Amino acid sequence: MNNIENVLITGASSGIGEALALHYAAHGVKKLFLCGRNEERLCKVAQACRSYGVEVDESLIDVTNKEAVGEWILKSNQQAPLDIVFANAGVSTGTETPEHIYQTFQTNIFGVLNTVTPAIEIYKARVENRPKIIAVMASIAGYHGLASCPSYSASKACVKAYGEALRARLKDKNIQVNVICPGFVRSRITDKNKCPMPFFMEADQAASIIAKGIEKNVGLIAFPFPMRFGAYLLSILPNAISNFIYQKLPHKV
């Protein structure tokens, strides 16, 4: 797959992370480095990937632990030079309690920083001619602050803006940055949703769209198109109008 041999994915124990791991395993990468917080689920994903003949290194890591994540990425790259680093791990806020709000920002923003920062330094120091790709997981929810999930949408808006800025900033370093903005995709997050989920998509379909977008070096991989267009349109409307519309939307959870 376009010279991609070694892929690292955070949050690989379920949802899009799991689907990405299985997608790359099925498409002939040599080694996968996977992390997650649930040992049982992570082991199942690793075993499923090994059935394709790929070598898998799984680690039980919380992405909010800066030192642990940095050490894991460094050791992974020493084992096999990383071609893609997916900053995928994320959480839903659920009830907007102080505890949940801080957890959302710690995971969805600082978890991304803890993954992306060491990856950038590794790529900057690389001399051999290999792919140098960073993919960050934002969301369609990051196009505009949502009254139904303020912390989640704000955290994803931050990741979206950061990834877009990094793409331009790192271009002259030959480091490819792709920002991913999915709509509703089957995951442990959407399994808890009680609201309507238009254009709902299975995780394997989402993983295929993401992998193709990365291969084509699409800067902003936002899908499905109707949701992307609708979110974009609402984001450019006057606030008085967009806020009125968003306040009428059902809550995520």
- Per-residue pLDDT, averaged over 184-193, amounts to 68
pTM: 0.90
Q: CB of 151 within 8 A of CB of 93?
A: yes
Q: CB of 138 within 8 A of CB of 163?
A: yes
Residue 113 lies in a domain: yes
Residue 156 lies in a domain: yes
Residue 1 lies in a domain: no
pLDDT of 1 higher than 60: no
Q: What is the pLDDT of residue 249?
A: 61
Least confident among 66-70, 217-221, 227-231: 227-231
What is the per-residue pLDDT across 52-61, written as a single tens digit (0 to 9) for each? Answer: 999 999 999 9
Least confident among 45-54, 117-126, 152-161, 217-226: 217-226
Residue 187 lies in a domain: yes
Out of 152, 162, 232, 246, which one is annotated catalytic? 152
Concerning whether 152 is annotated as a catalytic residue, the answer is yes
Separation CA 112–CA 86 (nearest Å): 9
Tell me whether residue 3 is exposed, middle or buried, using C-beta atoms within 10 angstroms of its C-beta: 0 to 12, 13 to 18, 19 or more. exposed
What is the domain-level CATH number for residue 129? 3.40.50.720
Domain count, the chain: 1
Residue 26 lies in a domain: yes
Residue 157 lies in a domain: yes
Residue 178 lies in a domain: yes
Q: At what angle do helices 225-236 and 239-247 cross, to 10 degrees?
A: 130
Structure tokens given for 179? 């920002």
pLDDT of 253 higher than 50: no
Residue 29 lies in a domain: yes
Q: Which domain holds residue 230?
A: 6-247
